[in-house]
Chains A and B, each alone.
Chain A
């Protein structure tokens, strides 16, 4: 009999030809495939509304694709039952766009939340663990503050400490760079990279911030119109001659992604009002 033990897959997450639609006839993602290898930071880029966040929710099992398969840690996420899904999520950490800190808990209790809920560690150890995680994001001194008393960038760092509190193997970031000043942005970028390397995890960064991503990630996927239109390492992306990638990387207002939302002919619309 063959051994039933499975080899540890090289890719922590594999997305295989998935399709997803919120409503009938309007697929957000159509035929997307990608792989997230262990130890790497991978960026998923695309304009607003290109389905980036949806893709994260699919990997986290909050949504299910109508076609295709998503495997995390070698197990199919899209067929998992609730209990199994919660089991899988124990190995994942997710940073939401604006941190999503619990507003009725202090920074300390926010970071302690997953530890207290999912482990039965004694309180002194919880305390040490939380302080270590807060220290890693430079906010040990802010442990007693409530989320409302923190700046947007600090909130996101607390949320990052919370997402990594239980040393996840996969960390997902939903727009971690949005709305940050240049200093906070550089700090967050550095933290994403350092935490990933310190934990030996894999990270998925959903973002539209090209320059910051090119500086910290190992690999990039470009999403547009519900499919992967380009991919490559930062160097390949910088050298790319694909019109879409060029437009994105050099922030050109018009190109394959048009400036105008599809509309009837301009002249005719204006004249029709007469």
Chain B
């Protein structure tokens, strides 16, 4: 009995130790990444290329999702608001939901599964095929040459994608409520302009998406760099990227919201 408890405790301790060690490794990796960013930026065309892969190639999924999310928000919002005779406020509802929450969060979730997983798989495969080791033997630091540009590409692309998501979502909400249902166009836009605050809503939303961008891309590059150099290892790392970054996005969203929107 006692022996079983002891072995259980031992297993628990080993797991906790493992997690802590991994967190420590991830943090050291992050600081190495920041320290070597100067070297990464010296060849900025590499970062531009990654902005293209992470950002431009994610445009379709972001735009289509945003359009549908906005249209659904418009429908649901109208359905509820019309009961209180304030259907014109649907513009406000759509814009606030998107700029404050849905834009940054949904765009980040999509970004994690579209671009984050791709980054992990690519770096993991480069490791498995010894491309990173070869680079190191050529006296080129793979963190500066491979990881840095991908990290900054993602960090730069994320807020832009989130902003686009919000804008297209608002347009989707407009499409459903104004031309289709017949809400007054002037009221739709003017109420929205009156209610949305540049700092409290738009800027805070962008700050959120920037934080998500750092978190998602950091997780993605780390999981790739840390992947076991086998087919199985890379597939596990890719899955972990999507799961961990989705959880991180939602948890960080709560923390950031708690700081940003107190009462008011």
Contact = CB atoms under 8 A, between A and B. Distances in A.
B131 A86 contact: no
B134 A89 contact: no
A248 B129 CA distance: 29
A89 B139 contact: yes
Interface string B135-155: 111111100010000000000
A97 B134 CA distance: 10
A138 interface: no
A89 B133 CA distance: 12
Contacts of B138: 89, 113-114, 117-118
A96 B139 CA distance: 15
Contact of A100 (B134, B139, B145): B134
Contacts of B137: 60, 62, 89, 92-94
A100 B125 CA distance: 11
Interface residues of B, number: 15
Interface string A101-115: 111000000000110
A244 interface: no
Interface in B99-134: 125-126, 129-131, 133-134
Nearest to B138: A114
B145 A117 contact: yes
A96 B130 contact: yes
Given A60-B137, A90-B139, A102 B130 contact: no
A89 B130 CA distance: 17
Contacts of B125: 103
Contacts of A86: 139, 141
Contacts of B133: 62, 96, 100
Interface string B2-36: 00000000000000000000000000000000000
A98 interface: yes
Contacts of A62: 133, 136-137
A111 B137 CA distance: 14
A9 B145 CA distance: 34
Given A94-B134, A96-B134, A117-B145, A103 B140 contact: no
A101 B129 CA distance: 8
A222 to B, nearest CB: 25
Nearest to B129: A100
A267 to B, nearest CB: 35
A116 B130 CA distance: 20
Residue from B125, B131, B135, B141 with most neighbouring chain A CB atoms (10 Å): B131
Nearest to B140: A117
Contact of B130 (A87, A97, A114): A97
Given A60-B137, A89-B136, A96-B133, 20 more contacts: A62-B133, A86-B139, A86-B141, A92-B137, A94-B134, A94-B137, A96-B134, A97-B130, A100-B129, A100-B133, A102-B131, A102-B134, A102-B135, A103-B126, A103-B131, A113-B138, A113-B140, A114-B140, A117-B140, A159-B134
Closest 9 A-B residue pairs measured CB to CB? A100-B134, A100-B130, A86-B139, A89-B139, A94-B137, A114-B138, A96-B130, A117-B140, A100-B131
19 contacts: A87-B139, A89-B139, A96-B130, A96-B134, A100-B129, A100-B130, A100-B131, A100-B133, A101-B131, A102-B134, A102-B135, A103-B125, A103-B131, A113-B138, A113-B140, A117-B138, A117-B145, A118-B138, A118-B139
